[in-house]
Structure 1
Amino acid sequence: MARHGAQLLPDGPPALRAAAADYLTHLRLERGLSANSIDAYARDIAKYVAVLAARGVSDFAAATAEDIRAFAAALEADGLAVRSRARATVAVRRLHRFLLAEGQAADDPGADVAPASGAERLPKALTVAEVEALIDSVSGESPGELRDRAVLEFLYATGARISEAVGLDVDDLDLGQGVARLYGKGSKERLVPVGSLAAAALEAWLVRGRPGFAAKGAGASGERAGAVFLNARGGRLSRQSAWAIVTRAAERAGLASHVTAHSLRHSFATHLLEGGADIRVVQELLGHASVTTTQIYTRVTAESLREVYATAHPRAR
């Protein structure tokens, strides 16, 4: 029987288990990680949950940098290889970063715990040409194709998480003003601009595609009927289905090897910073509680600059 990451978590305080399970769901649905990768994360986090419980910590929001260092020390005492310890520490740092971004914690204790050198990979952003190829891979006029293109355009235009996109209601859109209202975890609300190309794709879907799908869901509850993105039965599009839209587009565009459900969000942030946007503005658009979370994208753009320099400068080789 196939395993699921959450099943690998040990018994422990309910708040720890619930938050850990929520993070594993995020990795599966929004980051698009494989089952094996999620199991690896689950095993690392399970060990962390056990250490926190033994130290009397019942909620990740109460964990400190010292708790994370105690976890790393416990791994070393168990004889875990250096590379495995580094991976586990990175898994815990990313867990805390996620909780901060989602408003489930007030700070990020992992920010004060340096991972092993080279252990943490930067998020992968697509080039502008790759984003265009991804979106242009959907060009038909059927209701499903109009919806899929609108989903892709919306994710890249707004930097929305997939969960925020599928949670969008028609009343949250003002295409005349070019804005959308997004709700993160804990119903944290933010307004984001919607560019002209995304607005055009959304209008095409709402006018020529959505009515046909909505008719199939006639009699649906108000919650379902008000959704912007619908499935073919007239219900609200699920996160799994939205992730599948991104995956199928990546396959058609020849980008399947390095595209996940989170790639358009990463690309949105990276391209804004490369274009000169202020990091505080990008923080607000992404819905990050702390600018520390957003700063990883400045490292991405710095890496890109170094690559260009090394390639182009005659004395850089």
Structure 2
Amino acid sequence: MRFDDELDSFCQHMSRVQGLSANTVKAYRIDVDEFLHLMELRGFTDLDAVTIETLRSWMAHEMRNHSRSTMARKTVAIRQFFAFLEDRQLLDHNPAAILATPRIPEHLPQVLSHEQAGELMKRAQDDTEQMQNVDGGECNPDVQQAQEPRIKRTVRQQAVEVRNRAMLELLYATGMRVAELTGLDLGDLTMSERTVRVMGKGSKERVVPFGLPACKAIEVWLSQGRPVLADHNNAAGSASSESALFLGLQGRRIGQRQVRQVVHELAQEADLPSISPHALRHSAATHLLDGGADLREVQEMLGHSSLRTTQRYTHVSIEQLRQRYDLAFPRA
């Protein structure tokens, strides 16, 4: 493509200078690449020829196929791209300087009630206990030999159930993002202090505490579950993820999609609304504020760069209070 050099320089700047996460750089690269491809199709050979009218025409074209939130991200990407080119004196002027970001309607995040969160954690705990009951008890050696393949599968399944409980407890206890959870290593845990070191967006590190339920679930995973999946990895002769805290069935570092599937299935089993791991993050923040936590403390725990992002959870708390009020005083 004609503008590949400019795009590559911009992505390197975002990654090395601005310190943006790999996911953010990837998203911005796709957005700018699509824009530049469209400009090329329209006959532009020089980005100095792009005007604010050109950019508004591009926005009108894209708005037909994308939501406002997606367009807001695309607009920010284009604005930063042209600002980068101007700063490097690769452009005589910046046509995107006055390009407005589409307004995004305010939506309250999906949050579980305290009771629903308790039901979800109980569901994960019940699964673990059921699997332990299946494996418990003495077994006749002859019967054990005949049932060996089934027992092996059961042991691996128990390891998965133990892992799922530990992941759910940690997500809810810390409010961390799913990408942060899957990126955790064994060395990030300090069990004696019940804290975990989290690498957030933009490679910003923070230390987050977690409670006793999460601590106990993690201890069981580390002692009973993780060795089973790690041994399967070694037996299969595949590359081992020795440092990863949470492993998948093949013994490799668990992926984000797998975690989302686990949360979705457990919520379904607990007869709760379909939720994502991010709903646990929202729930943790809201419940902390309900319990009297300081807004700044919640901001630090969640790794928000702006207090404004954390403030929306106060609106959720007010909305929940209004719903409880309406239930208690139906004639109000």
Alignment TM-score > 0.5, same fold:
yes
Question: Are 2:263 and 2:276, in contact at CA under 8 Å, matched by a contact in 1?
Answer: yes
Q: Which runs of 5+ in 2 are unaligned?
A: 77-96, 133-157
Judge conservation of contact 1:155–1:264 (CA < 8 Å) in 2.
yes
Unaligned runs of 5+ in 1: 1-10, 27-41, 58-66, 98-108
1:193-222 Cα deviation digits (max 9, x unpaired): 011000000001111111111112237667
Please, which of 235, 253, 265 is the counterpart of residue 252 of structure 2? 235
TM-score (norm 2): 0.64
| Gap change, CA 1:278 and 1:215, over 3 Å in 2 | same
| Residue among 232, 256, 268 paired with 1:216 | 232
Give the residue type in structure 1 aligned to 2:186: V
Q: Distance in 2 between the 1:274 and 1:181 partners?
A: 25
Counterpart of 1:115 (choices 103, 114, 117) is 103
Query: Structure 2 vs 1, CA of residues 130 and 24 (structure 1 numbering), >3 Å: closer, same or farther?
Result: farther
Tell which structure's C-alpha radius of gyration is larger: 2
% of aligned pairs identical?
A: 37
Q: What is the CA-CA distance between 1:128 and the residue it aligns to?
A: 1.3
Deviations 1:24-68 (A, max 9, x none): 999xxxxxxxxxxxxxxx99x9689979xx9x79xxxxxxxxx9x
User: Higher mean Cα deviation, 304-313 or 283-292?
Assistant: 304-313
Cα separation, 2, equivalents of 1:306 and 1:48: 48
What SS does the corresponding residue of 1:285 show, helix, strand or coil?
helix
CA deviation string 1:246-286 (max 9, x = no partner) = 1111111112x431121111101111111111111111101
The whole-number CA distance in structure 1 between the counterparts of 2:330 and 2:108 is 27
Instruction: Report how far residue 92 of structure 1 moved.
Output: 3.9
Tell me which residue corresponds to 1:186. 202
1:162 pairs with one of 164, 171, 178? 178
Asked whether the 8 Å contact 1:217–1:225 carries over to 2, the reply is: no
Match of 1:226 among 239, 243, 248: 243
Alignment of 1:96-135 (within 5 A): 115=103, 119-135=105-121
Q: What amino acid does structure 1 have at the position aligned with 2:324?
A: V
TM-score relative to the length of structure 1: 0.67
**Does the CA contact (< 8 Å) of 2:119 and 2:270 recur in 1?**
yes
The equivalent residue for 2:151 is: none
Q: 1:88: which partner in 2?
A: 67
Query: Within 5 A, what are the aligned runs for 1:1-317?
Result: 13=7, 22=23, 88-93=67-72, 115=103, 119-138=105-124, 139-140=127-128, 141=132, 142-218=158-234, 224-255=241-272, 257-313=273-329, 316=332
Q: Secondary structure at the match of 1:137?
A: helix
